[in-house]
Amino acid sequence: DEESVTVSCSDHPPQAWYSEPCMLGIDEAGRGPVLGPMVRAAQGSATPARRSCSMEASLTVDIPSHLGMRVPPVSALCGVDHPERPAAAPSKIHPPHCRAFADSKTLTEARREALLAQLQADPGIGFRAESLSAAFISGRMLARDRHSLNELANDSTARLIAGVVAAGVNLTHAYIDTVGDADKHRSRLLAQFPAIHFTVCPKADSLYPIVSAASIVAKVTRDRQLSAYTCPEGPSSRDREYGCGYPGEVGWATCTPLLEAAAAVPVAWECEADDGAEGQQTLGWRAGAKRKAAGPRHAFFHMRRLALVGGGTFVRGASLHA
């Protein structure tokens, strides 16, 4: 497990702004990956009212002209307002010139790298990322004590927050893109971190620039690990232009059509509890039809009088029914 979960952090030493009220944005990249890891990242800074805007005039990034882009100031990215302007409301905290960050899924890999370079150059901003390998996710989802993809993502969020707090950051507010049921996820986090205010909602990377920044960190972290990926089943000389899997790429699709075209054997795993308002895609597939929510148990279990109880454990009973 330790080899399947890796953590990366910003290189800056502890900063003076750690003691000020700080905010944090959390987003992910590569959810349910076929190749490469699922990455959740946290981006933090002092709250807008306390951030200094001096960096806006001093911080510059050398970006090649062929990229054809102008990177907005980091202060704008993190929702920092000029002293003479009133603080923006949450729904309007995303100014027009920050849309490149909010639409990070549509950016090219080179543009994401350039944006991350600016974030890394600013000592007034810190980040932390956690990568969960596909093997780790599959192992947990298919283990006897199974965990859904939502649960794994929620646990990763909690570890990121705990790591930020352990680093001495005075975290007062965290903005998180929804994973499953927003209210349920927020309640779990409040139970673990009662001193922190949480905003958990859909499309948070489009509403809150601090989450947009976390999205950039997550995607570039995944981009880099994917570019260094070595397929154990084939030669290292294999064509590596397989893309990143984000919607902005042409020809994006899930692996299900490939399996169906190859006449692969359909597999349906044991039913898993959904953890979300609209359910969750489980680890398994059946060509041409949706998997039923429940069905009769196999004769193997019936003959041995075994029943599946909470936690995925089989127990022997005196009287069992299908």
pLDDT value of position 320: 44
27 is in an annotated binding site: yes
Measured from the Cβ of residue 172, the count of other Cβ atoms closer than 10 Å reads 15
pLDDT value of position 249: 58
pLDDT value of position 51: 45
Query: Which residue stretches of the chain are H helix?
Result: 54-58, 74-77, 99-102, 109-121, 134-142, 149-166, 182-192, 204-207, 209-227, 256-261, 299-303
Query: Which residue stretches of 145-181 are H helix?
Result: 149-166
| Helix axis angle, 109-121 to 209-227, nearest 10° | 120
Domains of the chain: residue spans and CATH: 5-227 (3.30.420.10), 294-322 (no CATH)
223 is in an annotated binding site: no
Q: Which residues of the chain have pLDDT under 50?
A: 1-2, 50-100, 271-291, 318-322
**High-pLDDT (> 70) share of the chain, %:** 60
pLDDT value of position 99: 44
pLDDT value of position 160: 95
CB 219 within 8 A of CB 112: yes
